[in-house]
Structures are given as C-alpha cells and as structure tokens.
Chains A and B, each alone.
Chain A
Amino acid sequence: MPALYRASFGYLWRHPWQLVLALLGICTGVSVMVAVDLANESSREAFLLSMDTVTGEATHQIVQGPAGVDETLYVRLRLKEGIRSIAPIVAGYVDIGNITMQVLGVDPFAEREFRPYSVPEPGVGVDDAYRRMLTGPGAVVMSYRTAESLKLSPGDRFDVSAGGRVHRAELVALIGGGDGRGFDNLIIADISTAQIWLDMLGRLTRIDVKIAQDDETGIAGKIRDALPIDGQLLNAAGRTRAVTEMSAAFMTNLTAMSLLALLVGVFLIYNSVGFAVLQRRRLIGVLRALGITRRQIFTLILTEGLVLGMVGAALGVLAGMWLGQQLLVLVSRSISDLYFVVNVTDVSLSSLSAAKGLVAGLGATVIAAIVPAMEAASYQPRLALTRSVLEHKTGRLLPIIAIGGIGMVVLAVILLAVSGSSLVAALTALFLMILGLALCIPIAVRACVTVTAPIADKVGGITARLAIQGIGASLSRTGVAIVALAVAVSATVGVSIMVDSFRGSVSEWLGNTLRSDIYVGVARGTLDADLVDDLVRVPGVMDYSSSRRVWLESETGRTRIIALKMAPGSYAGIDLLDAEPQDVWHSFDEEGAVIVSEPYAYRHKVGRGDTLELNTMHGDKIFQIAAIYRSYDANLGAVLMSRHTYESHWNDPAIGAIGLYLSPAAIPDEVIEHLRKVSEGRQSLLINSNREIRDMSLQIFDRTFIITDVLYWLAVGVAIIGILGAMLALQLERGRELAVLRAIGMTPGQLGTMVMVQTGFMGLLSGLAAIPLGLLMAWVLIDVINRRSFGWQMDIMVSPEVLGTALVLSVSAAVIAGIFPAYRAASSQPALAMREE
C-alpha cells in the first residue's frame, strides 16, 4: 500500500500547478471564513471585555427611566436600607479629538468591591493622583495603552468634548497593568467630573449592585421595595447580552457571506481532486487490473483529498488570521456605526476560530473528494483506460444530478415556508437553493453547447466549433469550473441587487422623512433648553420639530423610544404602512397612542390595533399602537410617540435634536450663520442642511457595505482561481489532442484562440447561469434574510447594469484565467506532446 500512496503523491508532485491551485482554492475559502469569524469574534470579544471592565463585579444594575437614576436613591439605599454592596455610576461617551472614549464616572470609595482597578496605584501618576481625582474637576485615569495611543503622560492636560461642550481634562494616573485590553478607550473619572461632562447633574446612569448567589440577606428584595415605581433591578449579564444581541444578525450575515466563499472553495476542491482522478484513469485502471480493490482506490483518493485539505486548511487558517486583521477594521467600524461603540485593536487569535476553519476546510474537502473517489473506485479495470466512457457516464449522470438539484431547491422552498422567522433556517435554505441550482447548471451547459455549436461553426468556423464542443465533450471538468464561477458571480449579482435595493429604499425613505430644512443636534448629548428657545426664534425660522431618542430598559430587553414634537410639515414625513393618516394622527397627538417601526412590528408581531406595555414613571402602562411606519434607522425597532405623551410618562425634558422649517424667503446659509452665532460660546452644535444629513446617512450606509464588497470580491477571487485551475488542467490533459490539432495544420495562434474562445464561452455560460441564480439570491436576501435579520422590507430594484456587470465579470474572469493555458497550448510542441502520451 505505501507504494500506492507514493505513486499518488508522486503524481501530484509532478503536477505542481494542480497542487498549488487545489491548495489555493481550499486555502482561500478557509481563510475568508476564518477571517470573518475572527473579525466578528474579536469585535464581540472586545465589546464584552470592555463591558466586563465597566461592569466589574456587579451582578445587577439599577436603572430608572430614560433620564437615569435619581442620585438620592443611592444615598437612601446606603443610609436607610444599609445596603453596602452598591456603587453609583455615571457613564457615557466623550470625544478626544476624533476618538470616541467611554467615560466611567465612579465614586472611588464605593469601587473596591466592583472595580478595584479603577483607582490609581502609586508611582504611576502625578503626586496625589487620588486626591486630585476626587477634588480636581477633570482629573481622569486611563490605561497605559490608552494613554499611549493618545500620546498622553500623567500630568498632561487635554480637551474632551461631550454634548457640544468642551471640558478640560488632566490625566493624573495610569491604571490596569498587564495588557489592559478591557481598558481600551476607557477613561475613568470621579463621578462629580462625569456628571458635569455628561450633563447628568443629580442623576446616575445606573447603580451597580453586587448580590451573592444565595442572597442570604435579601438585598434584592430590599432594593426592589425601595425602588421608585419606574426603577428596575436588572441582571447585569442580561443587559450586556441585550446589547450584544443587537449586532447578532449583522454578524450572522457576515458569517453567511464567508460560508459562501467556502462553498465556492468546495467546488474548487471537487474540481482539483476530480482532475487528479481523471488524469490518472489509466493508472487507476492498471492498478485495478493488478488487483487493487475498489475500497483501496477509494481510500487512496480520499486520503489524497484529506491531505490536500489539511495542508490547504492550515494555510487558510494562517492567511485568515492576516485577513481577519484587515477585515476587523471594517467590521468594528460598522458595528460602532450601527450598534455600539467598540474599539478593537487586536485580533483575538482564538483557537476556536482556527479549529472551525480547519474542520470546515477538511469537511469541505472530504465532501468534495467523495464523489471523485467513488468514481475512481467504480472504474472497471479495462474501461478505465478509455476516456470517452467517463464522459459518457458523466453525460448519463447529468439528469440525475439535475434532479437532485431540483430536489434541493424544493427542499429550500419548503424550509423557507415552514421556518417562521429563523435566520439560520433562511440561510440554510439559501445555501440549499444555490447548491441545488448549481447542480442544474451542467445539464443546461450541455443543452447550450448542443444548440450553439452549429451556430459557432457558421460564425467562427471550425476553431469556434471545436472550442465550444470541447466544453460539452469534457463536461466532467468544465462543468464544475462553470458552476464555481457562476456561483461566485451570482453572489455578486444577489448582493449587488440587495445593496442597491436597500440603498434605494433608504435613500427614498430619507428623502421622504427629512422634511425640515435645517437640522440642529449635538454630538453625544442633548440641546440646552434655553438655547433651543433662542434657536427657534432666529429670523427665517418658521416652525420646528424636535426629537428625543432614548433607550428604555426592562427585564425583557431594551426598547428604543423616539419622542417627537412635530411641526405641521412633519406628518407627511412618516410613511405609515398599515393605516391611513387621518386614522392615526389624532390618536397619536391627543390620545397617547404610539406608532411602531417596521422592525419593531416584525420582531414583536404587532400592528395597528395592538398594544404594547412600557415602564413609565407611573408604573407599567399600556399604549395603543396606531400604525406601523417605515424606518431603516434602528434595526431593533423603535416606538414613536408624541412629545406630549412622552413627557406625561417620563420625567425627561431633554431635547436631542431639532428640525427647523424655514420661511420660503429665508436663505438657508444665512440662517445657519445666524444659528451659529446664537449658539457660539454656549454649545457647539451640529448644524446641517437637509441635504447634508441625507448624504451623511448614506455615507454610513455605504461604509457598512464596504465589508460586503470585500467579501464578494474574495468569492470572485476564489472563483477565478478555480477556473484557472480547471482550464490549466484541461489543457494539460488535452495535450495530445491539441498536439494532433497542431499536427493536422492548426497554427499556434488558432490553437491559442481556440482555448481563449473556449474559456470565454465558459465565462459567458457562467454569467448567464449566474443571472437567474443571482436574482433568486437577491430575492431571498431581501425578502427573507433581511426581513428575518432586521425586520426591514424594501422594494427590489434590479438595474440592467448589475446584470451586465455580471456577464462582463464572469467572461473577463474566465478570459484572465484562460490566458496562461492558451499560451501553453499555443506554445506546445506537437511532436513532443504526442510522444509524451
């Protein structure tokens, strides 16, 4: 048996191109998967780590309404209830230059049980760091790494801005030895400093609580009894989970994209192993004639595949780690844009990601190698010597494969129909569908070739006909290459259509929603009430609307609340999906009814006529839902209510942003200039015209989809490598045939052209197959995946450009892949080639 394996590896060794391409295919597929996994996990990890740091030893947290916890509750709990394992926290975000930092405001005296590291050690800061922290407004501590990244040393002063105001800060000490990873972009200040910076005078973001598992002393009960009616004692881990869950669908989608790359990789492996078998049909026939059993042949081929898979997957994991680092920037930025601020500086080289990559790579190889291995094992000793038998067999198999494919599609449809709102099921169905349709491609290719060959003969003569018939004649090889390219290109079609449709819908929605002429807001904060009064009196301002967005927390998770004071012009900006405006606005304005965004409605399965319960300062209250409205802005969904409704249920007078409606005669730039003057020295405002807001929103949108672009180009890359491998092997295998053609008078140029036409036509077939496949994928992505992930609905917009691009892409990918094989074919020596055989 060792001799058998020696023969096997000797063969691969003598065909290094094939070896390299096979490895490259596996490696690329695995690396994309590992990279996405690492980027996802690192982002999640970084977020959890920083949550761990700020949560510390807290097991529970007390929160209260959107405006925060009344600080006297803390004093009451400590003095009256004698509860000592509590710590007050004022937390939020500030900007230092263009870096966003989390601020954790603590009472150092209460910290020992929770975050002992939040207090400076001696010798790592200015003298008296601790005293300064308590008494000096603006004194902060941060980790070594954070200080290093900001180029600060203890004693340095710097500016932080929050809520449109700039505050002076001083770094007094460094904390958190070791690698300090959880401390990245975290600054800790005394609570008195944090209250000023974050405009939280009199209030706390939360009260951290530490309750022992058995809670012998009944702290939880005592706290619940002492809480105001809108106060909540929530599980700390649950709160962290609720935040991370926001990004779960986003990450799942990225993972699905990476699996697509792996799927393309599977085709490649199948291709490579298949070729290795085909090329050795003679050797295998001889081996069988010599008495080697089917089983041994099967094992041999599978082992070959496994070794290839192992090496390829190992290389893929290494490459994936590098790639992951590149992707991480994109992923973490998108997560920060969309969900929660996360700063990831390191890829967490988790062995789990690596293991996943290895297993997936190996698994894919085994699956891909089983069919060729079975085929090799099935060779009759004598028959194996003739190639035509193989193609004949392939030809007979085609309908069976296609039927199997159709079966998979049917299965996918059934799965979609019965799986409710499961995202994983939807993604599984999507893959089944892609796979199923891909299996139908070869039979379609054969039909195509049969139809086009005579036409080709008329148009391009014998060379063209040979080229095209060649595709059909060696379908066992060309088919797989076409399928691989088609799948990759269809992914670009599907994703492009999805992104275009999405962007189009968002853009239209923004155009409709943004009704005001000028928007005034503040970075990370709320507007001064006095300032708002002055701003809306600026000449040229006719009317205004205001909004306040807050999170409301409860045992069951968090709810986004948006409180709107609407101007008459604002109503038309809200696109009601299941009710007529006249039926909605009266109850919204006068009767305390709310409207919910589409994602909210989808997630909670509610609509017009239903109710929802929210925890208010008067206790739990039932709200009528008057309608569902279209919104792409918060993918967990939002509950929209009138300012009046909001203020009568929550004690929170703050205003987040205002939209100004100008009189027809007003000149926007002059008004903006005026607004700036009014706000000067009071609060630095973000003042933007309608157009600017729209552009900025779309920018964030585009930024989010950069990663999608990157991923599908990687898939295309995998496909190009695949088709290159296929063509190369095809030409190598057909060396004798080509030599014969040369010998009977075909010029090198004609031969090269023939190969190019062949690959070009394969590319065209791939492109043509990719279009329906891509459209179907787009539909699934938009109507199923997106809906299940985010609850959004959008109109499918198919631009001819996308389809044209798909054709161009697949033809050019094929042509690029064909260049080298064409050159080889043209430059081959007929006599030599024939002698080799």
Chain B
Amino acid sequence: MRKGSLLIVITLIIGIAWSQLRPVSDKTDTDPRYVGSFSRLAELLSDRGIEGYAQAAGPRDFSFPEDHGPHRDFRNEWWYITGNLDGGNDERFGFELTIFRFSLTPAQDHDPNASAWRTNQVYIGHFAITDVGNASFHVAQRYARGSLGLAGAQAKPLQVWLEDWSIEAKNNAWQINASDKDMAIDLTLSPLKPPVLNGIDGWSQKSSEPGNASYYYSVPRLRTVGTLQINNANYSVTGLSWFDHEWGSTGLSKEQQGWDWFALHLSDGSDLMFYSLRKNDGSHDPYSAGTWITADGQSMHLGSDDVDIEVEEHWDSPNGGTYPSAWRLRIPRIDLDLRLRPVLDAQELHTIVRYWEGAVDVVGQKAGMPVEGRGYVELTGYALPDPG
C-alpha cells in the first residue's frame, strides 16, 4: 500500500502550501488549478528532488527494534496503525493512527548557532475513528515540525510522536495515544506475530524503474486492549490491529494513478496484505504485490498475478469521486476466495489529500472451509483533493 502513502506525504507537503493553510475559499473541483495539481501529482512525485537522499536500492538487513525507529536519510517514512475494535456492549469501532515523517532536505546541517526551531523534519498525523453503531466517521489531522520536541521519532525505546499523539514501546507492548476535540484512543498493542518483511526481504519495488522502491515491513497481528472515547462516551475496547512501517525516497512512477491496499485478519489466524497499483488507464500494474502470513507467522510473497480482485459495488462520495465499495478477492495459489464489504461507506478522509481508509468485514472460504474476518482497506487516487 504504502506506496500510496508516498503520494499522500508529498501531496501533504504540496498541499499545505496551496490548500491547507490558506483561508477557506469556495473553489470547486472544477478549478483547473486543483485538477491540474492532482493530475500532475505523479509527475511531482516521480524524480524531482530525490537527489542526496538515501535510496532503497536493494534488499537490506533488518534489525529490530532499531528499524522500528526513524530513518532520516530517506525522504519519507510512516508508521501506520489500523484496527478493528469491539466495545463491551456490542459496539463496533475502527481506528486509524498514522504518523508521517518527511525530510525536506537530504541532510540536516548541524549549525550549533541555529535556532532550536530549525529542522528539515516535518511530521503529519492522521487520526480517524469509525463508529459503526452510530454510522459516523471522525477524522483529525495534525502537522508539526520535528524540532523542540513538538514531534519526533526514536528507536530505543520506540517512540514516535506528534504533539500529544504517540506510539511508544512500553513493557513489550506498544502504547498508542491520540485525541482530538470529540474523540480519543488509549490502546495497548501486543504483537501476536513477529514482524513480516514485505516484498523481497523487506525491499518493496514499486515500478520497473530501478530505485523506485521502499523498505516495508508489517507487524500483522497485534492484540489490542484499551479505551476509546467518542463524543464524550467512553468505551473499553478489545480487538486486533495492524502495524505498517515503510520508508523510502521515491514516489509513484508517471504511469501510476493510485492504489488499493488491503490488510485482513482472518478467523483462522492467518493474515493477508495486498496492494494493487493502478495505472493511469485504470489497468492493473504488474508491480502490485502482497504478503500472505499463516497463523504461525510464516510469510509468503504474493505477486501481481497471484491475486485476482473484482470490484462488485461502488460508492459515490458526496464530495465527488467514485470509490469501489465491495470486492471479491481470490488467491488460487492458497485456495482463498473472499468477499469484502466496508462496515460503513462513508470512511473518506478529508485531510490534505482526500482518500478512503476504512474498516471492512470479510466472509468467504479457504480451502473449502468457511472463513471470516475483519480488515482495513485504503483507496487513493479516486477523488480530487478538497479545495481549501
């Protein structure tokens, strides 16, 4: 997926300039500037300005917990947590907490006389809760400079924070906290499986262009316990979460338009991650890929040809743009046949860039046996960014 995040991050930076921090205007989607900006995104992302940054040129050795921490030589990086939660009285929730890190320049010069505010590190955070029972979706966004402790990341012990939003390692578990006006989460995540390296030993190639790649691993299954607050109501919640960490310095290639990313927890203990890159002409990019993880933590790389995805329904966003909203996902190699459906259609994030990231329900069959599950899906490139 997180390919897509590249897009987001860069869009974020561009977007801050022209959309986010400006006064609200009544520009519509027909404003050629926005249309232009969006269609040119791939171009903006492609090559420019990556010189001087470290490149994901080939496989590397991962070592934990060091690699949970930041990799500031790379231009982009993100820590991404999504999960499905249940309250004590059959309440159902989904949540997303993402912190993006972005290096504005390849290297930070260390001028001892510089202001403590000076930094080349920018952090952006997205926090969303899906309240299934009330059919409501809540989003918050933050950004801060990576200096003076306003935002930052470190490996030992793992700590990634953006003001008072944080992901922290504590007692062999991860503590995550985030809050906004009408919502908050305070969750403890305990990994049930070790980290899984995606792509080739964690090297995830995104296109045929050499170097257009990232390092990408997941902790696919984390038992999640804690509290969730929404509209002044507090819930004790439990569930499963998915953690992704990816870094790199490049973006989409010119021909790529967006992606669909799936991360699913199945009832038999197995997990599936797959991202499908879409080309500008709507066709399926052969660099799409994924990982199949068995209940005992064994992983298997999935190529583009291994997975067959059919969109069965669509949802029209009230703000324009049409998203897929039901899928049939089949992996003949492991005899998997699943149907995915969002718990709520309207899980679109109106942040700097507009995208859909939401909880889904899964039903289907594996090797002839019924299986069900829950997961998260991310859809990008379907809608124009919000004006202003």
A contacts, CB < 8 Å to B: 71-72, 74-75, 78-79, 82, 84, 88, 107-109, 111-112, 116-117, 119-122, 128-131, 134-135, 137, 190-193, 195-196, 201-202
Contact = CB atoms under 8 A, between A and B. Distances in A.
B90 to A, nearest CB: 31
Contacts of A122: 14, 17-18, 33, 37
B65 to A, nearest CB: 24
B117 A192 contact: yes
9 smallest beta-carbon distances between A and B, as pairs: A192-B115, A192-B118, A195-B115, A192-B117, A130-B17, A119-B21, A122-B18, A116-B23, A191-B117
Nearest to A130: B17
Given A75-B149, A135-B104, A117 B117 contact: no
B222 interface: no
Nearest to B124: A109
A82 B16 CA distance: 22
B22 interface: yes
Given A121-B17, A135-B120, A78 B114 contact: no
A191 B105 CA distance: 18
Nearest to B122: A134
Contact of B114 (A72, A74, A121, A192): A192
B179 interface: yes
B150 A79 contact: yes
A120 B17 contact: yes
Given A190-B117, A195-B117, A116 B21 contact: yes
B164 interface: yes
Given A78-B163, A79-B149, A79-B150, A71 B17 contact: no
Contacts of B115: 191-193, 195-196, 201
23 contacts: A79-B149, A79-B163, A107-B117, A108-B21, A116-B23, A119-B22, A121-B17, A121-B18, A130-B13, A130-B16, A131-B13, A134-B120, A134-B122, A134-B145, A135-B118, A192-B115, A192-B116, A192-B118, A195-B115, A196-B113, A196-B115, A201-B113, A201-B116
B114 A196 contact: yes
A629 to B, nearest CB: 39
Contact of B118 (A108, A109, A137): A137
Nearest to A202: B116
Contacts of B49: 128
A190 B117 CA distance: 9
B249 to A, nearest CB: 15
A109 to B, nearest CB: 5
A826 to B, nearest CB: 73
Contacts, number: 88
A117 B23 contact: yes
Contacts of B164: 78-79, 82
Contacts of A116: 21-23
Interface string B90-131: 000000000000001100000001111111101000000000
Interface string B336-352: 00000000000000000
B143 interface: yes
Contacts of B37: 122
Given A78-B150, A195-B117, 15 more contacts: A74-B148, A75-B148, A79-B149, A79-B163, A79-B164, A82-B163, A116-B22, A116-B23, A120-B17, A130-B16, A134-B119, A134-B145, A135-B104, A192-B118, A196-B113
A92 to B, nearest CB: 14
Contacts of A74: 148
Nearest to A122: B18
Contacts of B17: 119-122, 129-130
Contacts of B145: 107, 109, 134
A109 B22 contact: no
Contacts of B18: 121-122
Contacts of A121: 17-18, 22
A486 B114 CA distance: 66
A172 to B, nearest CB: 11
Nearest to B114: A192
Nearest to B49: A128
A190 B104 CA distance: 14
Contacts of A120: 17
A134 B22 contact: no
Contacts of A195: 115, 117
A107 B144 CA distance: 9
B253 interface: no
B122 A111 contact: no
B318 to A, nearest CB: 24
A223 to B, nearest CB: 16
A145 B212 CA distance: 44
B20 interface: yes
A135 B105 contact: yes
B45 to A, nearest CB: 14
A217 B22 CA distance: 26
A119 B148 CA distance: 21
B148 A71 contact: yes
B21 A131 contact: no
B11 to A, nearest CB: 13
Contacts of A109: 122, 143-145
Contacts of B119: 134-135, 192
Contacts of A192: 114-119
A120 B143 CA distance: 17
Contacts of B118: 135, 137, 192
A120 B21 CA distance: 9
A683 to B, nearest CB: 15
Nearest to A194: B115
B138 to A, nearest CB: 16
B148 A112 contact: no
Interface string B298-341: 00000000000000000000000000000000000000000000
B120 to A, nearest CB: 5
A137 B117 CA distance: 11
A131 B22 CA distance: 16
Contacts of A75: 148-150
Nearest to B143: A109
A317 to B, nearest CB: 36
A424 B23 CA distance: 43
Nearest to A131: B104
Contacts of A202: 116
B231 to A, nearest CB: 15
Contacts of A107: 117, 145
A205 to B, nearest CB: 13
A134 B144 contact: no
A545 to B, nearest CB: 30
Nearest to A136: B105
Contacts of B20: 112
Interface string B1-36: 000000000000110111011110000000001000
Contacts of B33: 122
A105 to B, nearest CB: 9
A192 B145 CA distance: 11
Contacts of B23: 116-117
A201 B114 CA distance: 8
Contacts of A129: 17
A196 B20 CA distance: 28
A108 B20 CA distance: 11
A82 B164 CA distance: 7
Residue picked from A79, A111, A121, A195, most chain B C-beta under 10 Å: A79
